[in-house]
Amino acid sequence: MPDPTPPPATRLTELPEPVFADGRATLYLGDAVELLPLLPAATIDSLVTDPPYGLSFNGQAWDDATGFRESLPHIDTSAMSAPEIFEMWCTAWAAGAMHALKPGAHLAVFGGARTWHRMVRGIENAGFEIRDQIAWLHTTGMPKSMDLSHAIDKHHGVQRPDRTVQKSEHDGVLGATRTVLSKGTPVTEDAQRWEGWGTALRPAFEPIIIARKPPEGNTVRNVLAQGVGGINIDGGRFADDRWPTNVAFDPSQADALDMLTGTWQGESLSQKFPIFRFDHKPSSGERPRAFGRSHTTVKPLGLMRWLVTLITPPGATVLEPFAGSGTTVEAAVSGGFRVIAVEKDRTYLPLVISRLDRTP
């Protein structure tokens, strides 16, 4: 009997030709897990990225176990849970980053509140030192919560006659949307007992993991030999020349803090933290479109520029393994850095290139 198991996919042994390259940016189409180990060893100065969080965002395969398995064809994941697969995937791309980064180079990586510990374990498994965590606080998170009372009525096969739901006529950036205009009146006794209960809090922060490839010798010797290993404190200062903190706000969070705390020592408390504008539905400048395509998750350009500046020496090279719409790419190039980027989904490539086209 022939073996029904398909052979493992052939892995690349050298980098493909980039889909875009100039003196500022080099963009590759492909899987970061496969391509990062093919980059020249110990040549890149930092890594800044907003990767998938392993939360099955909006039902997208690239953010769940299905997509992560595609990146791990030579690893048997059949007995692993979805969180374990996500951790293994994080270990795999971080191992590629470990290969490409110089000794002492830092990385700054966004994570999801429910899964960041798996990402940290993966980064640590690859050999990085965990140095810090920046809390990015914002007010635009959308609750992913089940209305328990309504779900119980549905479980009992009962519909609420006064429940009103508005459905979008066209798909938006996040797909078709449904807005509950009126929850309706609970019908069953069980539903009445659980009215007002849900299953999740509204997300209002995202952790940014700061880690470092172990230096060769002590930090001073590494900085002198490799040109990396420290944090650019002066480059990351904000407001009245303040030392950069491991908490950052969006304006709405800053306003809420000031409303609650008033002033301290003659100034608003929020002024002690960096503030970056963030919109859940960003402007066309923050969320570019190309050939009718836009990206579903976009971080503030100012925040990404701040992170790049914090951990990258002036004029050095940034690695972005999950380019998406190209926010990190634009942040790096506009700040005078070079960037090497990888994107798996070819439909996003025009977005990245459109950012480069508009950046001097």
Rg of the Cα atoms in the chain? 23
The Cα 225–Cα 322 span in angstroms is 29
Where is pLDDT greater, at 249 or 83? Answer: 83
Confidence of residue 280 (pLDDT cuts 50, 70, 90): very low
DSSP state of 225: H
- The overall average pLDDT reported for the chain is 86
* Residue 266 confidence (pLDDT): 62
* Residue 10 confidence (pLDDT): 79
Lowest mean pLDDT of 18-27, 60-69, 121-130, 347-356, name the range: 60-69
| pTM, entire model | 0.84
Where is pLDDT greater, at 225 or 297? Answer: 225
Question: Which residues partner with 339 through β-bridges?
Answer: 25, 318
Confidence of residue 174 (pLDDT cuts 50, 70, 90): very low
pLDDT, tens digit, for every residue of 179-208? 888 999 999 999 999 999 999 988 888 999
Query: Is 279 exposed, middle or buried, given 0-12, 13-18 or 19+ CB atoms closer than 10 A?
Result: middle
* Residue 57 confidence (pLDDT): 67
* Residue 299 confidence (pLDDT): 84
Confidence of residue 169 (pLDDT cuts 50, 70, 90): low
Where is pLDDT greater, at 251 or 67? Answer: 67
- Please name the residue ranges forming H helices in 179-218: 189-193
* Residue 56 confidence (pLDDT): 75
Where is pLDDT greater, at 11 or 259? Answer: 11
Where is pLDDT greater, at 116 or 249? Answer: 116
Kindly state the average pLDDT of the residues 104-120: 95
For residue 243 the two structure tokens come to: 């030392």
For residue 221 the two structure tokens come to: 């010797």
pLDDT, tens digit, for every residue of 326-340? 999 999 999 999 999
* Residue 287 confidence (pLDDT): 46
Q: Is pLDDT above 90 for 324?
A: yes
End-to-end Cα, the chain, rounded Å = 62
Strands 20-21 and 44-49: unpaired
Report in angstroms the alpha-carbon separations of 66 from 25, 36, 110.
30, 21, 21
Give 47's Cβ-side CA count (13 Å radius): 35
* Residue 282 confidence (pLDDT): 43
Kindly state the average pLDDT of the residues 102-127: 96
* Residue 132 confidence (pLDDT): 96
Q: Is pLDDT above 70 for 94?
A: yes
Q: Is pLDDT above 90 for 241?
A: no
Where is pLDDT greater, at 302 or 87? Answer: 87
* 3-state secondary structure at position 37: helix
